[in-house]
Amino acid sequence: MAMALEGIKVVDLSRYAPGFYVSMYLGDMGADVIRVEEPATSGRRAEFKDVPLEYKAMEDQRGAAYNALERNKRKIALNLKDEDAREVFYKLVADADVVLEGSRPGVAQRLGVDYETCREINPRIVYCSLTGFGQDGPYARQAGHDINYISIAGALGLVGQRDGTPAIPANLVADYAGGAQFAIIGVLTALLARQRTGKGQFVDIAMTDGVVSLMVQFTQQFFKDGDVPRPASMRLNGGVAHYNVYQAQDGRWVAVGANEPYFFANLCKLVGRPDLAEHQFDPERGGEIESALREAFKTRPAQEWHDLMAAEDTCVTKVYDLQEVFADPQIVHRQMVMELQHETVGTVRQVGFPVKLSETPASVRRFAGPKGRDTDDLMRELGYAPEEIQRLREKGSVL
């Protein structure tokens, strides 16, 4: 069965998780992803000791088997500071469709792997740069991580406690939603445009821009009335009793999203307080309703509330940890956890595919592997003789 992106060749220069996610998705959908790695990590990044799974060299087969971010990729290790290694990269670009990179502005140009250089080689190339603040502007070269991008974009100021203390939502909002997801959209949009124009283009993705865009529901109200939302001040960020979290008898939490009156009425009935239903939108009764719900939820364990509410027309769920996520029947049914067979490790689990296509579904065809695993094969495809590959390896151009 043909895959959605079969025939699309992606050269991935990224060094961090947002870029890995972009090429993972493209690879899952059938693209031939060639991950260009450094033969050896150097500079300040080499000093980073607490290395997450996605950044490890994958010499450990068990680590590689579970590394979903690196699946469906062929791997070549090139020292891009070396002229001969850059020539290998240019040959990869010559018939590629997409180049992905995630360094701060100016780095790719200094290495000679920037868009202008690639466009001279291949005018049809779609070149995506995924950075924190974008290619221009006063912050373009400023360092940052997810927490910094969501703070500048205003998202961090929306989540937290009533005293104004922000809550840090892991690195999901900027790295993966504002960055990687918009990069995927940008790449696919540019490929569609190329079908019409015959030309590639530069795709400039800033994680901060992406988060600002995700804030559209709040920005439109701000532009209209000047309203500045604060933590726990709005209907959707914990400012009302019927859209909030409550601690259960066992110390676990339940999430209540009973916005509509009929959902709230069912909730009030199930917690034994039907008298509260008619006062849902009365601001003078908000504190009373919240206190009543807090007391009610303390009378049963979280799982009991979850099971009770699931059988009724309510919007109440248990706040899961990851162990519970992948045991949940809905998550299992939707195949968001997959069991795969690794040739040496055996059965492993990885996260599934969020986009379900009826005719061209995604698949896992290749596990992650050690750095430079496919260097020889890829260079042979580019026309390099075995003795030339060996010469470049001895020189340190490739691994």
The 10s digit of each residue's pLDDT in 279-338 is 999 999 999 999 999 999 999 999 999 999 988 999 999 999 999 999 999 999 999 999
Query: Of 53, 11, 61, whose CA–CA distance to 35 is shortest?
Result: 11
Looking at residue 52, what is its pLDDT? 58
Q: Point out the residues that are catalytic.
A: 145, 175
How many whole angstroms separate alpha carbon 310 and alpha carbon 305?
8
Looking at residue 163, what is its pLDDT? 83
User: Along the chain (399 residues), what's the average pLDDT of each consecutive run of 10 residues?
Assistant: 94 97 98 95 59 58 93 98 98 98 97 98 98 98 96 94 88 97 98 98 98 95 91 89 97 97 96 97 95 98 95 94 95 97 96 97 96 96 98 96
Looking at residue 53, what is its pLDDT? 55
How many whole angstroms separate alpha carbon 184 and alpha carbon 167?
27
Residues 95-151: pLDDT tens digits? 999 999 999 999 999 999 999 999 999 999 999 999 999 999 999 999 999 999 999
Residue spans per domain, the chain: 9-213+336-395, 243-247+253-318
Looking at residue 58, what is its pLDDT? 54
Point out which residues pair with 357 in neighbouring strands.
Answer: none
**Token digits for 245?**
């979290």
How many whole angstroms separate alpha carbon 131 and alpha carbon 22?
13
Looking at residue 50, what is its pLDDT? 58
Looking at residue 57, what is its pLDDT? 47
The answer to whether the beta carbons of residues 76 and 378 sit under 8 Å apart is yes
Which H/E stretch holds residue 117?
helix 115-121
Looking at residue 47, what is its pLDDT? 61
| CATH superfamily name and code, 9-213+336-395 | Crotonobetainyl-coa:carnitine coa-transferase; domain 1 (3.40.50.10540)
**Token digits for 271?**
């917690």
Neighbour-count burial of 230, counting CB atoms closer than 10 A to its CB (0-12 exposed, 13-18 middle, 19+ buried)? middle
